[in-house]
Amino acid sequence: MEDYGYPITDRFVATILGTPEGYEADLPKDIPFKKRWINIFPERHLPDLIWYGQEMIYAEVLQDRPAPLIFLIAGTGAASNGAKNYNMARAFYKAGFHVISIASPTFPNFVSAASRTGVVGHAERDAEDIYRVMEMIWKKLDGEIEATSFNLTGYSLGGFNSAYVAKLDEERKSFNFRRVLLINPPVSLYNSISLLDRMVENIPGGEDNFDQFFNRLVEGFSKVYKDQDDIGGDFLYQAYKAMDLKDEELAALIGVSFRLSSASMVFTSDVMTDFGYVKPKGLVLDRYADLTRYNQVTNRLGFTDYYHDFFYPYYKADYPDMTRDEFISAISLRGIADYLRNSPKITVMHNENDIILEPGEIEFFNEVFGERATIYPFGGHCGNINYRDNVAHMVATFTEGAN
C-alpha cells in the first residue's frame, strides 16, 4: 500500500474533488446505460404534491450473452444514474457484467415509490425494500437475459445497505449472492450522520453566516465559469484552486450538500406519511403549491433531527422495548458483526482517512473482516472510487475465481 498513487492526501479535498483527470480508470465513454421504470406498489395513492413519484426509476446496462449480474446501490441521496453508480456501471459493463443500478433508499423517488412505509433509514426495513425491488426487477428480466451469478456492491450508505441485503438473502435465497463488496460504508449510521451534520457548524462565523458563505462559494464558481471558454472536466478542480478554501470551509461545504439532499428526502417522507414534521398534519398541498417556506425550514434541519423527531417517534410503537438511543444506535454494522465475520463472500474497500467515521471506527473493519478488508491510506469519503487502482480492485473482487 506504500506506493498507492491516488494523488490527494487531504481527506476533505479528496471527498469533494474525487479523482483528478489522468488518474481515472480507462473506461468506455458511452455505454448503453438505460433508465427504467417499475411500479413497486401499484395500489399506492400518492399525495398530489409528489404525484410523479409513483414508479421507481432504476438503470441497467445488459450484455447480449449470458453473464454474471451485479446490483449497485447508491449512497445517501443519490439517484440510480448518479455519477458514482454510472462510473461503476462503466467498469463492470466493460468487465462483462450485466449491471442493475438502484438509487439509495434516501433518494426521494425511492422513498415515494419503493419504501413500504415512506420513512427510510432503518437497516433491516431498508434492506427489505431494496430486496423487493431487486426481486421485481429480476422477475422482469428473467428469460430476457441469463445471469450466471448474482453479485452486489454499494458505496457509502449503499455499502451499509449491501451488508444487510446480503444477510437478508441468506434467508430468502432469491439470489444467493456470489460476492458482495462494501465500499466506504459507515459503521454506525447515526455516528456518521452526526459527523456530517456537525460539519455545517464549520461555516465561518457559524450557521447564521450561511448566506455569506454560500455567496462566497457561488462567486468562486462564477469567476472560474466566466474565465473559461468551455467547461472542461477539471472545472471543479479549477474552482477549488481559485477559491483557496480552508479545511473547515471544505467540511462546511460537505455538510451543506449533505443537508440539502436530506432536506428533499425528509420532506417527501413528511408529505407521504402526513406525519406533521414540517408540514402541519392534515394540510393538503397540491402539485402547484408554493413550497418556499418548507424548503427554508428543511434546509435548517439536520439528518439527526429527522432521526430523533420523526424516525424514532414513527417506529416507536413497533419496538416498545427499546429506548430512543438504543433504537438509533442499533442501526449499525455492529449488530450483524457475527454474520459479517463468518461470510467469506463479503469484502470491504475503505479509506483510513474517511470523513464519515469516528476516530477508531475504521478498526471495526480490520477486526471483523480481517484479510477481507482493504484499507487504503487516503481517499477521504469515496474520493478514490474512480481511481484506476480502486476500480481494478473493485472489478477483480467480482471476476476472481469466476468461471
Partner 1 sequence: MKSLTLRTCALLALLSLGACSTTPPAEPQASYPEPVFAIDRIVPADAVDITSVYDPWEGMNKRIYNFNYHFDQWVFLPVVRGWQAVVPRPARRGVHNFFENFRDVRTMANSILQASPRKFFQSTGRVLVNSTIGLFGVIDVATSMGMPKPDEDFGQTLGHWGVGTGPYLVLPLLGPSNVRDGVGLYPDLVLQNYIQDDLLAQPVRATTFLFDSIDTRENTSFRYYETGSAFEYQTVRWLYSTKRELDVEK
Positions in the binding site for partner 1 (CB under 8 A): 49-50, 52-53, 57, 79, 107-112, 211, 214-215, 218, 222, 225-226, 229-230, 263-264, 267-268, 271, 276-283, 286-297, 300-301, 305, 309-310
Residues 6+ apart with CB under 8 A from 138: 147, 174, 175
For residues 73 and 162, the answer to whether their CB atoms sit within 8 Å is yes
DSSP-derived secondary structure for 14-39: HHHH-SPTTSB----S----EEEEE-
Q: How far is the CB of 79 from partner 1 (least distance, A)?
A: 7
62 is written with which cell numbers?
445488459
Q: How far is the CB of 183 from partner 1 (least distance, A)?
A: 23
Least distance CB 366 / partner 1 (angstroms): 37
Minimum CB distance to partner 1, residue 243 (Å): 16
User: Cβ closer to partner 1: 176 or 215?
Assistant: 215
Nearer CB in complex with partner 1: 49/70: 49
Between β-strands 56-61 and 34-38, what pairing exists: parallel, antiparallel or unpaired?
A: antiparallel
Beta-carbon contacts of 264 under 8 Å, excluding residues fewer than 6 positions away, are 77, 108, 298
**Considering beta carbons, is residue 144 or 286 the nearer one to partner 1?**
286
By C-beta, is 9 or 209 nearer to partner 1? Answer: 209
Alpha helices (runs of H) in 228-380, residue ranges in sequence order: 235-243, 247-273, 292-299, 303-306, 312-315, 324-329, 337-341, 363-369
Is the separation of the CB atoms in 150 and 71 below 8 Å? yes
Quick one: cell of 275?
406525519
Least Cβ distance, residue 245 to partner 1 (angstroms)? 19
Confirm if 101 and 117 have CB atoms less than 8 A apart: no
Nearer to partner 1, 45 or 226 (CB): 226
Residue 289 CB neighbours (<10 A): 13
Please identify, using beta-carbon distances, which residue of 260 and 392 lies nearer to partner 1: 260
SS3 label, residue 145: strand
Beta strands 346-351 and 373-376 are parallel
- Our CB check for partner 1 shows the closer of 41 and 214 to be 214
Least Å from the CB of residue 108 to partner 1:
3
Closest separation between CB of residue 167 and partner 1, Å? 28
